[in-house]
Amino acid sequence: MVCKILKKTAIDINPMSSNRCRGIRRRHRHNCSVIKAAAAAASSIVLTRIGFNKGFKFIQKRQTREGQPESELTKERRPLPPLTSPEKRTVFLDLDETLVHSVTGPPPKKFDFVVRPKIRGKIMTFYVVKRPGVDEFLEKLGNKYEVVVFTAGLREYATLVLDRLDRKRVISHRLYRDTCTEINGRFVKDLSGLGRDLSRLVIVDDNPNAYCFQPENAVPILPFVDDVADRELRRVLEFFEDEETRSCDDIRDAVRRFVGYHESITSSSDDDDGDDDGDGLELELELMDATCKLPVLIVSSKAREITSRRKFQPFGIPVLEFRTRMVVMFCLFLLLLHVMCFRRASVYTFF
């Protein structure tokens, strides 16, 4: 009897314990019903448990412009930040063979600086040569345009080169290989998704495959290796400093006039040359890129430089390669040996 009385007394002493359990269960059922209703109403809600018997926290997934979750869409490239000066136009510049030239082998006779990036866990040494007039080109271009360097090089390498090249910080943005569009192992620089109007931008690049998506926005430039007398940047700077280029509504019209003007000058100078072989080479080569299936216009001067290497000399002794010379000498040796053996034994021949 004492135990029953004590047990009953203990229950009666704390009458709130049973009410507290009922309240917890009631709240839990209420939370579960709210969760089920919310999940049925919106499929883009994430439920996260924030504690024991404390309910759930509702987290809304980030929605895209189509109203679908970000994970279900393909990742799009992030556009550039808005222009600080809306009246400025944008110039995209290539890095290698356009502004600088770098080698990894033995150091050349003349180089401007050295960078040692860590690529795939290995430290590599690059000897960098600046193109003649690059400092003046960047400084004058940065005063009137938004300058963006768009390179297909690795970020680890290009960052160190640009830090040494852009001492006055005239380059507004830097785009690397991860921003390019890879097509069959080739990196194409697509300018359509970068947040800039195509009628107000120009790309300067030595590789026609890089701008095959927007060839009408491209100002081609000859690749630079180690020519001290190179004047390509000065020629391009004249185009950007021209008042017609800065005042036209669509800069692609100015690009078309500039490229056509220089092609006509080059064609007239080649017609006056006496070294032409009269085969009627075209002044412009229109090539079809195998990767993007779009026509790519190459500057006529560069096209002639490529085709001029295939010209043959009409007179003179032909110059044979090393392997060809060795084959000819070996055949002459066998012929001489055959003649000697035929004289000694007139019946038995060598072969």
Of 94, 166, 205, 230, which residue is the catalytic one? 94
Q: Where are the beta strands (DSSP E) in 189-230?
A: 201-205, 218-220
Q: Cα Rg for the chain, rounded, in angstroms?
A: 36
How far, in Å, CA of 213 to CA of 295, rounded? 9
The answer for residues whose C-beta is within 8 angstroms of residue 96's C-beta and 6 or more apart is 102, 151, 153
The two tokens of residue 129 are: 């040569």
How far, in Å, CA of 56 to CA of 127, rounded? 59
H/E run at residue 236: helix 232-241
- DSSP 3-state of 58: strand
Please give, one letter per residue, the 3-state secondary structure of 124-144: CCEEEEECCCHHHHHHHHHHH
Residue 292: which of 177, 211, 176, 194 has the closest Cα? 211
How far, in Å, CA of 74 to CA of 324, rounded? 55
**Dihedrals phi, psi of 208, to nearest 5 degrees:** -65, -25
How far, in Å, CA of 270 to CA of 42, rounded? 71
The verdict on whether 96 is a catalytic residue reads yes
Q: Tokens 């600080």 belong to which residue?
A: 84
Burial class, 71, CB count within 10 angstroms (exposed 0-12 / middle 13-18 / buried 19+): exposed
The verdict on whether 250 is a catalytic residue reads no
Of 12, 96, 206, 289, which residue is the catalytic one? 96
- In this structure, what DSSP letter does residue 180 have? S
Please give, one letter per residue, the 3-state secondary structure of 151-166: CCCCHHHHHHHHHHHC
Residue 297 CA from chain centroid, whole number: 19
**Cβ atoms of 158 and 151 closer than 8 Å:** yes
Annotated active-site positions, please? 94, 96
